[in-house]
Amino acid sequence: MSSFSITIQSNSDGGSSYSDMASDAAAPSFSNNSSSLKGPDVKLEIKRSKRRHIEQCNKEKCVVGGPAQGMINSESQESATFFSGLSGGYEHGKIREIMAKMILAHQLPLTFVELTWFNALMKYNNSSFQEVNQITIKDECIKVFELEKEKMKKMFKDISRISLTSDCWTSNQTDRYMSLTAHYVDADWKLQKRIISFFDLAPSHSGEVISDRIIECITEWGIQDKIGTITLDNASNNDKAATILESNLLETRKLHFDGLFFHVRCCAHILNLIVQDGHSVIESCVVKIREGVEYLRKSSDRLLKFGEIAIASGIQTKRPLCIDVKTRWDSTHRMLESALPYKSAFHGYALKDPNFEWELSEEELANVSKVCYLVKIILDATTNILPGTMYPTANLFLVEICNVKKEICKAYESSDAFLRTMSKPMFDKFNKYWGEVEVLMAIACILDPLFKLVGVEYAFHELYPANEVEERVNGVTSKLRALYEKYVMEPVASKNVASTLNTVPAAAPAPSKPSERSRRMEELIAFIRASNANKKTKSDLEVYLEDPIFF
Q: Tell me the one-letter amino acid at 484.
A: Y
What is the second-level CATH architecture of the domain 161-265? 2-Layer Sandwich (3.30)
Q: What are the E-state strand segments in 361-480?
A: none
| Among 464, 370, 383, CA closest to 423 | 370
| Segments making up each domain of the chain, as ranges | 89-153, 161-265, 282-482
What are phi and psi for residue 415, nearest 5 degrees? Answer: -80, -10
Cα separation values, 129 from 98, 118, 132, 186, 482, Å: 13, 11, 9, 39, 61
Contacts of 94 (CB under 8 A, 6+ apart): 86
Query: Cα-flanking dihedrals φ and ψ of residue 163, to 5°?
Result: -110, 145
What is the Cα–Cα distance from 437 to 397, expressed in whole angstroms?
A: 11
CA distance linking residue 284 with residue 423, whole number of Å: 17
Burial 42-71 (b: 16+ CB within 10 A, else e): eeebbbebbeebbeeeeeeeeeeeeeeeee
- Let me know if 232 is exposed, middle or buried by CB neighbors in 10 A (0-12, 13-18, 19+): buried
Per-residue pLDDT of the chain (551 residues; tens, 9 = 90+): 444 333 333 344 444 333 333 333 333 333 344 444 444 444 444 445 445 545 554 444 443 334 433 334 444 455 555 555 555 667 888 999 999 999 999 999 999 999 999 999 999 988 889 999 999 999 999 999 999 999 999 999 989 889 999 888 877 777 888 899 999 998 888 889 999 999 888 777 788 889 999 999 999 999 988 898 898 887 888 889 988 988 888 877 677 777 878 888 887 788 888 898 889 899 999 999 999 999 998 889 999 999 999 999 888 888 888 989 888 888 999 999 999 999 899 999 999 999 998 989 999 999 999 999 999 988 888 877 765 545 667 777 787 888 888 889 889 888 999 999 999 999 888 888 777 678 888 898 898 888 888 888 888 888 888 899 999 999 999 989 988 888 887 765 544 434 433 433 444 444 445 555 566 567 666 666 666 666 567 788 888 888 887 76
Q: Are 359 and 284 in contact (CB under 8 A)?
A: no
* Segments in 340-361 forming alpha helices (H): 343-352
Nearest to residue 371, comparing CAs of 433, 432, 283, 290?
Answer: 283
